Structures are given as C-alpha cells and as structure tokens.
Chain A
Amino acid sequence: MGFRKHINLLGYAISSIFTYRIRTVAIVSSLTVAIMVLGSVVFVSDGLEREAELSATFAPDITVQYLQAGRQILIPMSCARTIAAQSVGVKAVPRVWGYVYHQNRIYTLMGIDPEGMLIPEEIRFAILSGRFLQQNDKEAAVIGYFFAQKFGVKVDDILTLYDQSMKPHNFSIVGIFSTEVRLYTADLIIIPIQDAREFFEISQDYATDLCVYVDDAGQTRYVAQRIIEEIPNARVLTREILKEALVTAYGARSGFISIIWYIILIAVVLVAWNHASALSAETKREVGILKALGFSTSDILEVRLMEALVLGLLSASLGVFLGLIYDVYLGAPIIRDFMLGWAMVYPEFPLPVYTGFSTIVTLYAIAVFPLLVGCVFPAWNSAITEPDAAMRGV
C-alpha cells in the first residue's frame, strides 16, 4: 500500500534533479570529491590496519629486546636461558636481524632458526612458490612477492647482498611469500640464523632480539611481567602491544584526515543549502500547481528530501568508486606517504586496500545525512507554498 506512490515521487524527484542541472552538478561534484578523499584515506587505513593485524599474527607471543641508554643493543644469549628457566612451557629463541642496502633501498635481513622457532602455520600457507626455510638450509633465502617482481627473481635464482664491508654474500632463493602478507614481507628477506650471524658479524653469544613462545596463551602477560622483573634492561613487547601500536598509528592518521574532511563537508552542506534555498518564482509556482493537483505538503517534502537522498547516494557511490580507483589503480599518490609514514626509504609495494561493509555504510551515511540536514529547511520552505499561488499566478 502506497509503495507505488513513493516510486512515482522518486521519479519526480529524479526529473527535478535533471531539470535543475547547475545545482545538481555543484552539489554532486563537491560531495563526490569530499567522499572520494575520505574514502580513499579510509580504504587505505582499513587495509593497513588489516595488514597490521595479519602481520601481528606472525609475531611471537613476546618479543624481547635489550636496551642500553634507551636504545636497542644486542641481547646476550644468557637472557634466553633466564627466560626459559622461568617455567615449563616457555621457550626463548634468538633472532638475528638488521638492515641491508640493496639497489638504493633498505631491506630487513632476518636470520631465524626454522626448527627452534615456532613458525605459525599461517606463514607456511603464505608461501606462493618454493618453500619456507628448513633446518639444514645454508645460504638460502625466502623473499617477498614484490621484491621478486621488482628484481625479476624467482625460486632457485641467486641473490647477492653486500655487508657493511662490501663483501658479497650469495643466497639461493628457496621460497617467495604471497601477496597476502605484503606489508609484513615487502622489505623482508629471511635467511638461516647462522648466515645472518656471518653477515652482520654477530657472535653466538648475542642476538638482535629473542622470540618468546608461551604454551598457555593466558599466561603471556604474566610471563612478560616476569621477564621485566628479571631482566631490567629488557623491552618486552607482546603480540597485542605490537598489534595495538600498528592499528593505533594507522587509525590515528585516518582520524586526522577525517577532521580536515569534516571542514570540507560543512562547505558542501552550505552549498547545498544555498542552492536549495533559492526558491525561485518558478519553483514556487510549480509547487503551487502540484498542491492544487493533489500533492500534499508531505509529498512535496518527500520529493525534496528524495532529491537530497538521491544526490547523496549518487555522490557517495561516485566518491567510493573514484576513491577505490585512486587507491587501487593510481596507488593513492598524495596520501600514501602520509599514511605509510616511511615510504621514502622503504621499498615500493602496492598499497593494501580494504573495503569493509561497515565502512561503506558509514561513508554512505555521512554523505546522505548531512545533505538531508542541509536541505531540510529549504525543502520545508518550498513545501509550504500555498496551492492558492497556482490559482493567483503568483
């Protein structure tokens, strides 16, 4: 009941939109740009947050670093023994890693013990071709997908890296990570820990940091607390803290842009109000005629608000679409550096983009509702035109 009538009014609203073209173009273009800017930031932010969560999955339960004068230094292997001795079900595995300069970009060279380290199953599934490191590997490497693309290397190729003495070290590529873990592996080269010790000239008595694994996940905080108590110089990072730090960083950046966008939106709403308020004699006459023909005040209000709704939905759809084009196909050139924060030295990789249902709904809501708000008063002003106006030719 009454459904067809609303369809008819919607049709009338759409024809009005095409009748008043200048107003339509002004509102749609400004709102589309606003949504596009916001959407592109949010899609990247959501993508990075998701990647960060994924990356945190691969992290150990606790990462222990050693500090001196507030800066990280190599951690003595005696700390690993101290940690392991805490209780049953706690294991501390060394990791040796650092940065290597390769063809004008900085990469992370990470040496791990694939047998001693509890590699999450997810990381094994994240191998696109080849395999992950194994116990007896020597001078082997697993690299990220985009590294392989950029340098045109594949499994069984030789990768030559130079240490700080400019001595070459050759590694045979045994595996390539998939794009599922692009953020985590974009700059990562994983090699056996012994090779890393040779590369960075770090002895057996030290490691860069320790990966601590706790059998009972509920005990993680307790174990972390004990480590802090027993190794005062330690910086203890649980997986949760790492995830929160990454999610907070990307979330805060998108929030900052949202504030700027908020200001743009106010300008858009003012444009909409201004255009809608211009109740020309022609518009008044039209409304008077419609009311004389049986349209109620509510019907006119509905038509005007439907116009705003259609414009809002159209602008949001265009904005979302263009935002995705901007992120996915153009690589979000202006916002990328701000969002990543370190793109200048880190290697290039396509930006992770994620479009969640709630994000899309929210984008549509914040496109439509402020426009409705801006159009309420002008819509009402138009709707209360006396039908008498048609009779009197006013």
Chain B
Amino acid sequence: MIMTKRLTKIYNRGEENEVAAVKGVSINIEDGDLAIVTGPSGSGKTTLLSLLGLLTRPTAGKVFYDDEEVSSYSDAWQTKLRKKEVGFVFQQFNLLPQFSAWENVSLPLLCRDVDKDERRKLAIGVMEELGLRKRVDFKVAQLSAGEQQRVAIARALITDPRIILADEPTASVDGETARSVLKLFKVLKEAGKTIIVSTHDPAIMREGTALAELKEGALVNYSRR
C-alpha cells in the first residue's frame, strides 16, 4: 500500500545548518493499518509524515503508493494524488481564523467542482458525526481546543480519503477528547482506512497494527502485529 525505500530528507543541504531529519527509512504500511510513528522530539516523525503524505520531496529514496513510485511525480500530480487519497490532521489544528467551522471543514472541497450548498451539506454531515452540529457557524476563536481538533479531523475526512495522516493528534487536547479521537480512529480503521499517526500517546500506540520507532532520523525498530 504505502512503501518507502531508503527514504532520506536533508534540510538546508550544503549549508552550515544542514540537518538530516530522516535517514534511510524503509517501511511498508498495509491497507487498513493503524500505523504508529513514534520517537523522541526531533527524531523526524513529522518529517516522515510529510514525506509519506507527499508534502515534501525526499533528498534520496522513494515513496510508493500501491507499487507506483510517486515521489518523483511533478508537484501538480502529487497534489492530485494528495487531494484524492490523503487527509491530514495537524498538530496545531491549522484552522483558518477568518472562516467559520463549516467553512474550515469544507476547505478541501474548494479546489473541486463542488458548489457552496453542496459543500455546506457535506461539511454539516461530517460535523454531525463528530458531534459538532451546534458549532457549524461558529468562528474558530469561539471553539474550544477539543472542538477545534474535531473540526480539523472533520476537515481531513470530508473528502473520504483512503489514507489519514495525523501528527500528534492528542498532544494539544484534554483526556476526554483524546479518548474520543482514539475511538474515531478505531472506527475509521474498521471502515478500511489506513491511518498513520505520529504520537507518544500509549493508548493509541496500544491499538496500532504497525509500529515504526525513529531516533535521530533513523529507523531503529519496525514491527507489525
């Protein structure tokens, strides 16, 4: 499903502050996996997720989606693939403050042939499933951290992606919200989605079907259950 071969990412290549964020990582994530990426801070978790989600180019190595090498695709084609296949949940939520909750959720639909009424309908549908029906027209500043996280998750799900990448989804929320996020991930996994999560949360790690442990950018352990 998603495979990497000796994936490497070096920032500021050739400069004094050159950093090898990911070094020679080779992993294989199957369809329907709840794959966990873990490691200390600065170990390259976020960078690995960026590489898997085609948000950045590898310095060396390759990324494969269903045996098709996609890391050398043009920017336009990677965007097409990302649009179709991948949903992101960011650590900082990354909601746009000038828009309401439903408008943030429907942002991925703006670059598609979906009109405004349909976008709102789809956004409300997803928000209802996440218990956000009463927050549809609220501005971001009016939402609690837990609600913002759920809006971010709703945004990742609205395009019904096959793959969901979540960067520390429970780091900035309370315990109850964290539990509801885990519950949601389990439901999505049951529905056949492939979920890749970078986390330190033991509850989520326990549910993982594949575990990749990074240290200083290198893969120190990769196991499957």
A294 touches B159 (CB 8 A): yes
Tell yes or no: B113 within 8 A of A by CB: yes
The minimal Cβ–Cβ distance linking A284 to chain B, given in whole angstroms, is 12
Tell yes or no: B5 within 8 A of A by CB: no
A296 touches B111 (CB 8 A): yes
Tell yes or no: B116 within 8 A of A by CB: yes
Tell yes or no: B142 within 8 A of A by CB: no
- With a cutoff of 8 Å between Cβ atoms, the chain A residues found around residue B90 in the complex are 289, 292, 390-391, 393
Q: Which residue of A lies closest to B155 (CB)?
A: A293
Q: Which residue of B lies closest to A285 (CB)?
A: B94
- With a cutoff of 8 Å between Cβ atoms, the chain B residues found around residue A392 in the complex are 46, 50
A391 touches B111 (CB 8 A): no
- With a cutoff of 8 Å between Cβ atoms, the chain A residues found around residue B53 in the complex are 292, 391
Q: Which residue of B lies closest to A393 (CB)?
A: B92
Tell yes or no: B108 within 8 A of A by CB: yes
Tell yes or no: A182 within 8 A of B by CB: no
B82 touches A294 (CB 8 A): yes
> Knowing A4-B114, A290-B107, A390-B94 touch, does A295 contact B55 (C-beta < 8 A)?
no
Tell yes or no: B102 within 8 A of A by CB: no
Tell yes or no: B185 within 8 A of A by CB: no
B167 touches A391 (CB 8 A): yes
A15 interface neighbour in B55, B98, B113, Cβ under 8 Å? B98
Q: Which of A5-13, A102-110, A136-144, A225-233 makes up part of the contact surface?
A: A5-13
B46 touches A296 (CB 8 A): no
- With a cutoff of 8 Å between Cβ atoms, the chain A residues found around residue B75 in the complex are 296-297
Q: How far is the CA of A392 from the CA of B88 in the complex (A)?
A: 13
B79 touches A294 (CB 8 A): yes
- With a cutoff of 8 Å between Cβ atoms, the chain A residues found around residue B113 in the complex are 1-5
- With a cutoff of 8 Å between Cβ atoms, the chain B residues found around residue A393 in the complex are 90-92
Tell yes or no: B112 within 8 A of A by CB: yes
Q: Which residue of A lies closest to B88 (CB)?
A: A292
Q: Is the interface of A mostly helix, strand, loop or mixed?
A: helix
- With a cutoff of 8 Å between Cβ atoms, the chain B residues found around residue A3 in the complex are 113
Flag A214-248 by CB within 8 Å of B: 1 or 0 each.
00000000000000000000000000000000000
B110 touches A8 (CB 8 A): yes
B167 touches A297 (CB 8 A): no
Q: Which residue of B lies closest to A386 (CB)?
A: B56
> Knowing A1-B113, A5-B112, A15-B98 touch, does A293 contact B107 (C-beta < 8 A)?
yes
Q: How far is the CA of A291 from the CA of B83 in the complex (A)?
A: 9
Tell yes or no: B141 within 8 A of A by CB: no
The minimal Cβ–Cβ distance linking A122 to chain B, given in whole angstroms, is 55
B110 interface neighbour in A285, A295, A391, Cβ under 8 Å? A295
Tell yes or no: A352 within 8 A of B by CB: no
- With a cutoff of 8 Å between Cβ atoms, the chain A residues found around residue B88 in the complex are 292-293, 390-391
- With a cutoff of 8 Å between Cβ atoms, the chain B residues found around residue A386 in the complex are 55-56
Tell yes or no: B191 within 8 A of A by CB: no
The minimal Cβ–Cβ distance linking A290 to chain B, given in whole angstroms, is 7
- With a cutoff of 8 Å between Cβ atoms, the chain A residues found around residue B83 in the complex are 294
- With a cutoff of 8 Å between Cβ atoms, the chain A residues found around residue B107 in the complex are 289-290, 293
Flag B72-110 by CB within 8 Å of A: 1 or 0 each.
000110011011000010111010101100000001111
- With a cutoff of 8 Å between Cβ atoms, the chain B residues found around residue A289 in the complex are 90, 94, 96, 107
Q: How far is the CA of A293 from the CA of B167 in the complex (A)?
A: 14
Q: How far is the CA of A390 from the CA of B89 in the complex (A)?
A: 11
B50 touches A391 (CB 8 A): yes
- With a cutoff of 8 Å between Cβ atoms, the chain A residues found around residue B22 in the complex are none
A8 touches B111 (CB 8 A): yes
Q: Which residue of A lies closest to B80 (CB)?
A: A296
Give 5 A-B pairs besides A19-B98, A292-B82 with Cβ atoms closer than 8 angstroms: A4-B112, A15-B98, A290-B107, A295-B79, A386-B56
